[in-house]
Chains A and B, each alone.
Chain A
Amino acid sequence: MHRKRLWNFVNYLLLSIAALLFIAPILFMVVGSFKPEAQVLSEMGTLRAVLPSEIKLHNYRDVFVRIPFGRYLWNSVLINGLIVGLGLIVNALAAYALARLQWRGRDTLLVVVLALLIIPFEAIAVPLFYQLSALGWRNDYLVQVFPFVANPLAIYLFYSFFLGLPRELEEAARVDGAGILRTFFAIVIPNAKPVFATVAIVTFLLYWGMYLWPLLMTVDDGVRPLPLAIATFYTLPPVQWGDILAFGVMMVLPVLVIFITFQPWFVRGVATTGLKG
C-alpha cells in the first residue's frame, strides 16, 4: 500500500514536470508579455523566463499605440463570426436535404460533397486567389468569408448527426400535421444543439488562425485579421519582443476562453474528426 502511494506520487510529479516543460513556450509568452523589454531576452535562459517577477501592462498599451490592434481584432471577430454564423445555416440546411429529404440527384451530390472533403485548402488557395483576382474581388471582408461558408466537413458532421437522429421523431411530426419546413425548424433543430455547438467551435478555431488566405487576398490593414497582423508586427522596427508577446496573449485569449468553456464539445469534435489545419 505504501509503495503504491509513493509510486502514485512519483507518477504525478513526473507528469507535472512533463506538462510544465511542454507548456513552457506558452508560459514564456505570457510571462514575457508583462516584462520590460530588456528582460525578455536577457532572462530567457533563466527560470525567470517562466516565473513572473512583476506585472507591468505597458507592453499591452504599446500594442494599441503602435498598431491598430482593435481594428485587427474587430476584423478577426467579424470575419470569423460571419464564417461560423453563415456556415451553420448553409451547411445544416444542405446536410438535412442530403440526410433526410427525398429528391433525385441526392446520392450523386452526397458523393460529390464527400469527394470535396479530401481537397485541402492549400491545393486551391493559389487558383482561387487567381480566380477571384481576375474578377477584381480582393481586399475586403467578404472575400475572406464566402470561400469558407460552404464547408464539406461541416456538411459531413451535420449529415452524420441527422442520420443518427431517430427518424420516428420527424415522422411523428409529419403525422401530427407539421410540414417539412416546420418539422426541420421545430423538431430537428432543437434536438441538434450538440452538433451545432461542435461545428461552431471547430470552425471558429480553424479559421481564427487562418493566415494563408488573408496573406494572398488582402493589402489594407483595414481588413486584415490578427494572424497576418502578428506576422507583420514582429518585423515592425524597432522589434519589441514584449509587445509582440502581449499581442500574442491578446490574440489567443478569445480562443482559449472558448476552448476552456466548451471543452467537452470540442474534445468530442476533435476526437471524432481529428481536424485542425
Chain B
Amino acid sequence: MSRVTFSDITKRFPDGTLAISDFSLGIRDGELLVLLGPSGCGKSTLLRMLAGLEQPSSGELRIDDVVVNDLSPQQRNIAMVFQNYALYPHMSVRENLAFPLRMQRLPRRDIERRVREVAERLSLGELLDKHPRALSGGQRQRVAMGRALVREPKVFLMDEPLSNLDAELRLQIRQDSARLQRDTGVTTLYVTHDQVEAMTLGQRIVVLKQGVLQQLGTANELYAWPANTFVATFIGSPGMNIFQAPLQRDEQGYTFTIDGRTIALHVGAYSEESLSTFAGKILHVGIRPEALCLVAAGDEGVVDFSVKLSGLERLGHEVIVHFPAINRIADMQAEHCARLSHQDGLQIGDNISLSVAVKDLYLFDPNGCAIPRVS
C-alpha cells in the first residue's frame, strides 16, 4: 500500500528528444490510475522511469516518502506487466511465478505457498508445469499478472497489458483486472492508448500529449469538462467536433456567429471576466457528435445547421454521419460528424439539418484551453 509522487519530472533522451516535460502527479494509496495518450506521448517512459528502467533527467520520484531516483529496479519493490508479457521462455509457469520470490531469497516453503496461492487466485493451477510457448494469449496474460501479483509489491505497473489480446478476451480480462486490483488494493499505474480501457478501469485518468500533462480527472470529468481541445477530441468516439466562431459583445451580452447565424450565450453560464478578454476574438467552439440531432429548426435555445453528408457509418442502433467541417480551423478536423439514432433514409449527398442545444456547446480560447463555466 503506497503513494507515488512524480515531482517536476523531465526526461530528455540522449538524442535530444524531450519525452516528458515538467510532469507532476500524485497517485493515492490503493488507487488505479490510468495514463492515457496517443502512441509516442511519453506514457510508457513515465512508467519505465517509475520502474527504474529509465532515469529521469530532472525531478524527483517518490514511493511513499522515499526518493527512488537512485534506486535500481530490484530495490524499488514494484511489479510490472509488460505489453508482450515478457514471460521467461526457458522457465515453466511455476518457475516464472517463483522467479521474483527467488530473487528476494525467500525460503523455498514460502515460495511454494505463495505460488500456489496466486495460481489458485488466477486459475493457473493446470498450467503450472507448462512453458510459455504452450500457452494461449489469454493464459500468458494471466501468468504475467500472476508474476506481478506474487511478490505483493508496493506498486503495480501495467504497460498496455491488454493490447495483444483479441477484442472478446480483452473485455473479459479488463473486468477481471479491475476486480483483482480492487481486491488486492495495490496502488496501480496503468498505461494505455485505448480510451475505453482507460475510462472503464481508471479511478482517475491522466491524459498525456507529447510529454505534457493535459488533464487529470475521472472518466466523467474528462468527458464532461475537457480541459482543452486535445482532450475534447481525444475522448469520446468519435471525438468532439471543433470549429471556429468570432465572439462579439452587444447590449444583451455575448454572441457568436456560426454558419451565418448569431447565437446568444446563456447569461450567467460563463463569468463576465472570462469572456471579456476574448471579445472580438475568434474562439474555438466544440460540439459532441452525440449532442447533434435531426430536429426541426426554430426552437428556442437551439442552433441548427444545414450540412451535406459526405459519409455514413451504419452501426445498426445508430448511424454516424460525416459532413465537411463547418467553419473549419486550419490543421484541424476536415470533417465533422454526428451520432444519430437509427435512420433509414439517409444517403451520401443528402442535405440535412442538424441542431444542437446552446447549453451543449463548449467554448475554448484561441489556444484551445477550455473557458470555464460558472455552474
Q: Smallest distance from the beta carbon of B118 to chain A beta carbons, Å?
A: 14
Q: Smallest distance from the beta carbon of B84 to chain A beta carbons, Å?
A: 6
The answer to whether A56 has its CB under 8 Å from any CB of chain B is no
Report yes or no: B53 in contact with A174, Cβ–Cβ below 8 A.
yes
Q: Which residue of B lies closest to A182 (CB)?
A: B103
Report yes or no: A169 in contact with B88, Cβ–Cβ below 8 A.
yes
Q: Which residue of B lies closest to A180 (CB)?
A: B72
Report yes or no: B51 in contact with A175, Cβ–Cβ below 8 A.
yes
Report yes or no: B51 in contact with A191, Cβ–Cβ below 8 A.
no
Considering the complex, which residues of chain B in the window 26-58 have a beta carbon less than 8 Å from any beta carbon of chain A?
Answer: 48, 51-53
Complex formed: what's the CA distance from A168 to B53 in Å? 10
Residue of A166, A173, A182 with most chain B CB atoms under a 10 A cut-off? A173
Contacting residue for B73 out of A166, A174, A191, CB 8 A: A174
The answer to whether B25 has its CB under 8 Å from any CB of chain A is no
Complex formed: what's the CA distance from A172 to B99 in Å? 10
Task: Map CB proximity to A onto B63-78 as digits: 1 under 8 Å, 0 otherwise.
Answer: 0000000001110001
The answer to whether A43 has its CB under 8 Å from any CB of chain B is no
The answer to whether A177 has its CB under 8 Å from any CB of chain B is yes
| Chain B residues whose CB sits within 8 angstroms of the CB of A178 once the complex forms | 74, 99, 103
The answer to whether B339 has its CB under 8 Å from any CB of chain A is no
Report yes or no: B74 in contact with A177, Cβ–Cβ below 8 A.
yes
Report yes or no: A190 in contact with B82, Cβ–Cβ below 8 A.
no
The answer to whether A78 has its CB under 8 Å from any CB of chain B is no
Residue of B48, B72, B88, B147 with most chain A CB atoms under a 10 A cut-off? B88
| Chain A residues whose CB sits within 8 angstroms of the CB of B147 once the complex forms | 172, 176
Contacts A168-B84, A172-B80, A172-B82 known; A179 to B74 CB distance under 8 Å?
yes
Report yes or no: B151 in contact with A176, Cβ–Cβ below 8 A.
yes
Report yes or no: A176 in contact with B103, Cβ–Cβ below 8 A.
yes
| Chain A residues whose CB sits within 8 angstroms of the CB of B86 once the complex forms | 166, 168-169, 171-172
Residue of B72, B82, B104, B147 with most chain A CB atoms under a 10 A cut-off? B82
| Chain A residues whose CB sits within 8 angstroms of the CB of B82 once the complex forms | 168, 171-172
Complex formed: what's the CA distance from A166 to B84 in Å? 9
The answer to whether B161 has its CB under 8 Å from any CB of chain A is no
Task: Map CB proximity to A onto B254-280 as digits: 1 under 8 Å, 0 otherwise.
Answer: 000000000000000000000000000
The answer to whether A187 has its CB under 8 Å from any CB of chain B is yes
Range for the number of chain B residues in contact with chain A: 20 to 34
Complex formed: what's the CA distance from A5 to B90 in Å? 47
Report yes or no: B74 in contact with A174, Cβ–Cβ below 8 A.
yes
Q: Smallest distance from the beta carbon of A172 to chain B beta carbons, Å?
A: 4
Complex formed: what's the CA distance from A195 to B56 in Å? 35
| Chain A residues whose CB sits within 8 angstroms of the CB of B100 once the complex forms | 176-177
Report yes or no: B72 in contact with A174, Cβ–Cβ below 8 A.
yes
| Chain B residues whose CB sits within 8 angstroms of the CB of A173 once the complex forms | 88, 99
Contacts A168-B84, A171-B86, A172-B82 known; A179 to B72 CB distance under 8 Å?
yes
Contacts A168-B84, A191-B89, A191-B90 known; A177 to B53 CB distance under 8 Å?
no
Contacts A168-B82, A182-B103 known; A175 to B88 CB distance under 8 Å?
no
| Chain A residues whose CB sits within 8 angstroms of the CB of B53 once the complex forms | 171, 174-175
Report yes or no: A174 in contact with B88, Cβ–Cβ below 8 A.
no
Q: Smallest distance from the beta carbon of B12 to chain A beta carbons, Å?
A: 16
| Chain A residues whose CB sits within 8 angstroms of the CB of B48 once the complex forms | 171
Considering the complex, which residues of chain A in the window 148-197 have a beta carbon less than 8 Å from any beta carbon of chain B?
Answer: 166, 168-169, 171-179, 182, 187, 190-191
Q: Smallest distance from the beta carbon of A21 to chain B beta carbons, Å?
A: 45
Considering the complex, which residues of chain B in the window 99-140 have a beta carbon less than 8 Å from any beta carbon of chain A?
Answer: 99-100, 103-104
| Chain B residues whose CB sits within 8 angstroms of the CB of A179 once the complex forms | 72, 74
Complex formed: what's the CA distance from A177 to B99 in Å? 9
Report yes or no: A177 in contact with B103, Cβ–Cβ below 8 A.
yes
Q: Smallest distance from the beta carbon of A165 to chain B beta carbons, Å?
A: 10
Complex formed: what's the CA distance from A187 to B88 in Å? 7
The answer to whether B199 has its CB under 8 Å from any CB of chain A is no
Measured CB to CB, the residues of B under 8 A from A are 48, 51-53, 72-74, 78-80, 82-84, 86, 88-90, 99-100, 103-104, 147, 151, 157
What are 8 pairs between A and B in contact, CB < 8 Å? A168-B82, A171-B51, A172-B80, A175-B52, A175-B80, A176-B79, A176-B99, A176-B100
Nearest first, the 9 A-B pairs at minimum CB distance are A177-B103, A168-B86, A172-B86, A176-B100, A177-B74, A190-B90, A174-B73, A168-B82, A175-B80
Q: Please name 6 further chain A to chain B contacts, defined as beta carbons within 8 Å, in addition to the given A166-B84, A191-B89, sorted by A numbering.
A: A171-B48, A171-B80, A172-B82, A175-B74, A177-B74, A190-B90
